[in-house]
Structure 1
Amino acid sequence: MNLRCVECEAMFPPRLIYQCPACGGILETVGQDDVAPFSFGEGGTPLLRASRIEAELPGFSGEIWLKDETRNPSGSFKDRLIAAALGRAIAMGVRGVVCASSGNAGASTAAYAARAGVPAIIVVPAHTPPGKVTQIAAHGAILLLVEGHYSRSYDLARALAGEHGFANLTTTFINPYAVAGVTAVGHEIFAQLGGQAPSHVLIPTGSGPLVKGVWQGLREAGASARLVAVQAEGCAPIVRAFEAGAEHVTAWGMPQTIASGISDPLIGYERDGSYTLRLVRESGGCAVAVSDDALREAMQTLARREGIYAEPTAASPIAALRQLLADGRLPADARIVCLITGHGFKDARAYQEMPTRTHRVDDPRDTAAVARLCEAAIAERV
């Protein structure tokens, strides 16, 4: 296995480098890796038919499938990246690992590092949802809270890795071994659909490694699909460039969205967004932004129609469905895979702020009254 720059195509032997020494471009792995991931049971997540969501989409005659990445050990798809990156770091004898995160990658790094007995430093924005901070802290990692947007955490992690010899497991495009870990998602989708490709894959997108993983995994399986990068309206640098017809992505300002997992303004590493934009266009796909209100509605749809408890970021593909069907960017007979990337326990606060069907029972002995209450609630739900 070697490393190759996606821009100038220069080749390098495998080592811990985070950008092309020749041009500063993004590195990717090529060839068979002889270093095994530090596996904790990640991957092989189910692909579930969303028949009830299908039935509620007017005029839709296709298929909707949910790739449920909430089933990974720490509750998100980030486990795939961290397993691959940590396996490489251990093989290279690093003294510890550092990861900048909006929450999920940090939780994954903390859990996997704890199991491996490797010191871990996790750097997150101070406003990271409490559920994610609690999960990171539970595993005993050194947790650094940084005021401001995610890119400030990114810069600190990069500096710590460079100055103290820790492996940088940040799950943007900075670690090529991590990104290689998500190509299995594309392979799994193809196999789970019986050796057939979906027409479209909707992917929650910050900097975009999961877009790359699906794109490359499908290509390696001899297939392709139109990739849809889904971002939040409050942080949508890739969507802005796509809609403007631009070749390069420019950084966003301060994100304003409940979707913490994709609130990445790309400040200082805009190349990541430009590369993702290139892959989306090569696939014939598009980029779309969704509102926080649409995210909340999508979370409820997943939970109440399909039984999947998803954080706001993970619900973003569902939020995009109606919008894309309405404006003709998804055909009525499409076979769509939506990547549900993170568990709802990551950000329970978003659910706690929603209306619930909760009723106080004053006298549990009055079963007739309780039955009437329940019947009325069921009728209202229908």
Structure 2
Amino acid sequence: MCGCKQDMAFPDYCARCGGSVVLPPTSHPLPDTTNLPGVWRYAGRLPITPDTAWLSMGEGNSRIVSAAGSADWCGVENLLFKLDHLNPSGSFKDRATAVGMSQAVEQRASAVVCASSGNAAGSTAAYAARAGLPAVVLMPEAVPPGKAAVARAHGAAVLRVRGDYSNAFRTARELASRFGWINLTTTFVNPVAVAGLKSAGYELASQLTDPPDWIVVPVGSGPLVHGIVTAYRELRDAGAVRAVPRILGVQAEGCAPITEAFDSGATEVAPWQHVRTRISAISDPLRGYPADGTYTLRLVRDTGGAMAAVDDVEAGEAVNQLAYREGLLIESGAAASLVAVRTLCGQGTIRADQTVVCMLTGNGVKTLSTEVDPGPVITDTDEAVSRLRSHAALAEGITA
């Protein structure tokens, strides 16, 4: 972010300094919202025009619900969930992909490419199918099979790259450069697509009477942090909101380069050397593009926020917590937010009387194992009763 003017026709990292590139904030006065679908509601504030609104599948506009079943578990009185896992392809990535695909259509790109640990793969494949463009998806070799299957179901060419996410990122970037494809990888490599994530911040501000004290965001490289913070800054400067909420960024303990820098007081993020986590959605080691993490680190600190790392076991427990007590099937990368809130409440960083919004960024359906036991087969009602007596929640009521 050296201030060098960039060529947005083929976005990438800065050719001069190699740093992350983001579009400037929308100038004031902020354009009014439109009656167009999905993120095209904010066409005046995002780098899209009504001409490509046909691409929309209703992305964004996700509900906010109270989390009464988990508030006590976390230790806060007012806990809210924003249900971004209900976007068309099952993740918040659709906000960025829709805008990036609009760019690809307007530039008449021959194809799009992305590196993905899972959610961006399905999103890119789905919107590419709608746009009538070929999609190439590079995924780490240990990607959850369900996530790869979603991308393949939409017709994308899916290739697993040996090693971790950063290896897939490098390959996608090289392919984009070699063939002139639009790169929809959801790091900061495509600032046009990343701008679409501002829609999450605009929505939060319109759905809540006052800014929440904290917004909790699962973080790989951090573009969603940028989107939310930028939107709130624009709205604050326009006099529409009084403050920018604090950001709590959440990473996996086995891949936490930004959290490590935050905890150590460092001003720059160093790449993570050895990924040791199964939480695929937020396992980005940032090798080759650590400036993304440094930018996100600065944003978090600028809001007075914090970073937290969650281990795999705790994240799995949070998945169960949300499924059993809230009726929400969320992937572990998003559910980890709940653990982070509980931890910071215990430390006193988050007060019990503060309002906390967790971004539920990814649907858990794509990470369900194909080996999960579907349940016993029965032949009659008597056998059903016999089986149900062993179910903990029903045992007391089935005595006859």
Confirm or deny a common fold (TM above 0.5): yes
Which region of structure 1 is more displaced relative to structure 2, 121-130 or 212-221?
Answer: 212-221
Q: Which residue of 2 aligns with 1:260?
A: 280
Structure 1 CA distance for aligned equivalents of residues 112 and 392 of structure 2:
54
Counting only pairs closer than 5 Å after superposition, residues 6-45 of structure 1 correspond to structure 2 as 7-12=1-6, 14-30=8-24, 31=26, 32=45, 33-36=47-50, 38-45=55-62
Q: 2:67 pairs with 50, 53, 56, which one?
A: 50
Structure 2 CA distance for aligned equivalents of residues 80 and 34 of structure 1:
12
Q: Does 1:212 align with 2:226?
A: yes
Q: 1:278 pairs with 298, 304, 314, which one?
A: 298
Q: Give the letter for the 1:270 counterpart.
A: P
8 Å CA contact retained: 1:113, 1:120: yes
Displacement of 1:370 after TM fit? 6.2
Cα root mean square deviation, aligned: 2.2
Percent identity of equivalent pairs: 42
Q: Give the letter for the 1:164 counterpart.
A: F
Q: Which residue of 2 aligns with 1:296?
A: 316
Displacement of 1:55 after TM fit? 3.1
Structure 1 CA distance for aligned equivalents of residues 64 and 104 of structure 2:
31
Counting only pairs closer than 5 Å after superposition, residues 1-382 of structure 1 correspond to structure 2 as 7-12=1-6, 14-30=8-24, 31=26, 32=45, 33-36=47-50, 38-58=55-75, 60=76, 62-194=77-209, 196-222=210-236, 223-349=243-369, 352=372, 363-365=380-382, 369=386, 377=394
Q: Which residue of 2 aligns with 1:3?
A: none
Uncovered stretches (5+) of structure 1, i.e. residues with no partner: 1-6
Structure 2 CA distance for aligned equivalents of residues 370 and 39 of structure 1:
46
Displacement of 1:270 after TM fit? 0.3
Per-residue CA shift, 1:49-101, capped at 9, x if unaligned? 1011113345x3x3111011111111000111100111012111211111011
Task: Classify 1:345/1:113 alpha carbon distance in 2 versus 1 (closer, same or farther; 3 Å).
Answer: same
Query: Runs of 4+ in structure 1 displaced over 6 angstroms?
Result: none
Structure 2 CA distance for aligned equivalents of residues 211 and 140 of structure 1:
30
8 Å CA contact retained: 2:8, 2:192: no
Task: Classify 1:117/1:364 alpha carbon distance in 2 versus 1 (closer, same or farther; 3 Å).
Answer: same
Structure 1 CA distance for aligned equivalents of residues 389 and 174 of structure 2:
62
Q: Number of residue pairs matched? A: 368
> TM-score, with normalisation over the residues of structure 2?
0.87
8 Å CA contact retained: 1:35, 1:88: no
Structure 1 CA distance for aligned equivalents of residues 370 and 258 of structure 2:
25
Displacement of 1:361 after TM fit? 5.4
Structure 2 CA distance for aligned equivalents of residues 142 and 118 of structure 1:
12
Per-residue CA shift, 1:182-219, capped at 9, x if unaligned? 1011111111113x101001110000001111111222
Displacement of 1:130 after TM fit? 0.5
Task: Classify the secondary structure of the residue corresponding to 1:349.
Answer: coil
Displacement of 1:21 after TM fit? 3.1
Task: Classify the secondary structure of the residue corresponding to 1:29.
Answer: coil
Task: Classify the secondary structure of the residue corresponding to 2:248.
Answer: strand
Task: Classify the secondary structure of the residue corresponding to 1:288.
Answer: strand
Per-residue CA shift, 1:314-372, capped at 9, x if unaligned? 1110121211111111111110000111111110029949xx9x677575236765675
Uncovered stretches (5+) of structure 2, i.e. residues with no partner: 27-44, 237-242
Task: Classify 1:294/1:350 alpha carbon distance in 2 versus 1 (closer, same or farther; 3 Å).
Answer: farther
Structure 2 CA distance for aligned equivalents of residues 328 and 150 of structure 1:
34
Q: Give the letter for the 1:198 counterpart.
A: P
Task: Classify the secondary structure of the residue corresponding to 1:93.
Answer: coil
Displacement of 1:22 after TM fit? 3.4
Displacement of 1:11 after TM fit? 3.3
> TM-score, with normalisation over the residues of structure 1?
0.91
Which region of structure 1 is more displaced relative to structure 2, 9-18 or 155-164?
Answer: 9-18
Q: Give the letter for the 1:28 counterpart.
A: V
Structure 1 CA distance for aligned equivalents of residues 356 and 78 of structure 2:
6
Per-residue CA shift, 1:228-253, capped at 9, x if unaligned? 11000010000110111000000112
Q: Give the letter for the 2:339 counterpart.
A: A
Displacement of 1:375 after TM fit? 7.6
Task: Classify 1:14/1:303 alpha carbon distance in 2 versus 1 (closer, same or farther; 3 Å).
Answer: same
Structure 1 CA distance for aligned equivalents of residues 257 and 234 of structure 2:
29
Task: Classify 1:238/1:137 alpha carbon distance in 2 versus 1 (closer, same or farther; 3 Å).
Answer: same
Per-residue CA shift, 1:158-201, capped at 9, x if unaligned? 0000011111110000000111001011111111113x101001
Q: Give the letter for the 1:134 counterpart.
A: A
Q: Give the letter for the 1:364 counterpart.
A: T
8 Å CA contact retained: 1:212, 1:279: yes
Task: Classify the secondary structure of the residue corresponding to 1:365.
Answer: helix
